[in-house]
Amino acid sequence: MKKYFSIVTSLALALGFTACEDVPAPYEIPSDQTETPVGDELLSETFASTLGSFTNATTQGAGEWKIDFKTAKASGYDKDTKKTTAGTYYLVSPEINLSGIDAAHVTFEYILAYNKGAENQQLLITDKYDAAKPAEGWTLISQEWKEPNKKEDGKIDWKTFHSAAINLPAQFIGKKVRIALRYNTDATSGSTWEVRNLKVKKGNVTQSTPDTPQPPVNGDLLNETFASTLGSFTNVTTQGAGEWKIDFKTAKASGYDKDTRKTIAGTYYLISPEVNLSGINAANLTFEYILAYNKSAENQQLLITDKYDAAKPADGWTLISQDWKEPNKKADGKIDWKTFHSATFGIPAEFIGKKVRIAFRYNTEAAGGSTWEIRNLKMK
């Protein structure tokens, strides 16, 4: 009887172990579910919860593509430390087989805010991807994207996405390829790029037109109050120290530190995002300002360029104006910091029809400098 019981027990254990072998270990159950392409789709990723079949490759500095707000997001800015970390990172697709088809295109939705330069956000393709050298061998498909939509209060609308539809270059049809979204930022400041619902499909498509940006509220080409943030503008300090910052609900530049009662030498630019002036005959720039303690006209300049290079932010500018009114005075002779002058400038004719940026350049030496406050800027 004992022998019989032993045999039954052994048999039960054997069956139990066999059954367990058919159950995958819990750690092997994949949590990153890749979208399954259907019909004419060759690739499909929503980026709602994971990067799916895409992979991040950081080639310089730090940072990476990650999931945030149900998108694949790239941003060098850390909201906890309030600092930007320089880095270059690629969101690389799996291999896509384009053999046996005549054409293919990619579609996705995106928001791109605080754009510092077109070359910092690129859609790329290659048929020679080398994981050991992920930054090499790419061909540019596009780096032109629309500015983000704005709400009525002028702030960025983070809920409304633009749609992109772009044909893949003909020389890659019939090959095995990968596409990538390349993001780059320096340590001064960078953009935020959110991408979702990406698909690669067979056939050509009527391409989206990123050269026609979504105009801000009321038809303005540019609209920043500087009431609480620099908005779509960015500070770039090219010499010494100091920066444009928000103070008294204005964008303010001043080398003077009221705590130490010292002035720190520095040169810094308040630079606009790219503004598309194609399809218009003229444009005007308006803003309000106070300029006090002016030491020299060339220390406060309004500039424009159509050749902005984030790597050389002090180069390539054309002067619009450096002549400003003295500040108003109160009855006691002190500066009236509540009464602003109004300024209106026509954009030079040679820049109409182009993509441009404007900048306010401020400079001070250690012996003493001015204070420049700007608010309610618009380009129409």
Domains and CATH numbers, the chain: 41-202 (2.60.120.200), 217-379 (2.60.120.200)
pLDDT: is 301 or 38 the higher one?
301
- Going from the C-alpha of 87 to that of each of 57, 67, 109, 122, 179, the distances in angstroms are 11, 17, 23, 14, 20
Confidence of residue 16 (pLDDT cuts 50, 70, 90): very low
The pair phi, psi for residue 21, each rounded to 5°, is: -65, -20
Confidence of residue 228 (pLDDT cuts 50, 70, 90): confident
Whether the pLDDT of residue 361 is over 60: the answer is yes
Exposure string over 93-105, b if 16+ CB within 10 A, otherwise e? beebebeeeeebb
Burial class (CB within 10 angstroms; exposed 0-12, middle 13-18, buried 19+) of 123 = buried
DSSP string, 57-122: EEEEES---EEETTEEEEE-EETTTTEE--EEEEEEPPPEE-TT-S-EEEEEEEEEES---GGGEE
The stretch 153-175 carries a mean pLDDT of 93
Rounded (10°) CA dihedral 63, 109, 51, 92: -70
Whether the pLDDT of residue 11 is over 90: the answer is no
Q: Assess contact for 274 and 355: CB atoms under 8 A.
A: yes
pTM (predicted TM-score): 0.52
pLDDT tens per residue across span 234-293? 999 999 999 999 999 999 999 998 888 899 999 999 999 999 999 899 999 999 999 999
Distance from C-alpha of 254 to C-alpha of 260, rounded to nearest angstrom: 14
Max Cα distance, the chain (Å): 116
Confidence of residue 101 (pLDDT cuts 50, 70, 90): very high
Confidence of residue 209 (pLDDT cuts 50, 70, 90): low
Predicted pLDDT at 117: 82
Other residues' Cβ atoms within 10 Å of the Cβ of residue 255: 25
Whether the pLDDT of residue 4 is over 70: the answer is no
List the structure tokens of 197. Answer: 């619902």
Predicted pLDDT at 38: 58
Distance from C-alpha of 177 to C-alpha of 125, rounded to nearest angstrom: 7
Q: Assess contact for 212 and 276: CB atoms under 8 A.
A: yes
Confidence of residue 319 (pLDDT cuts 50, 70, 90): very high
Please identify which residue in the block is written with the tokens 């956000």. 121
Predicted pLDDT at 37: 58
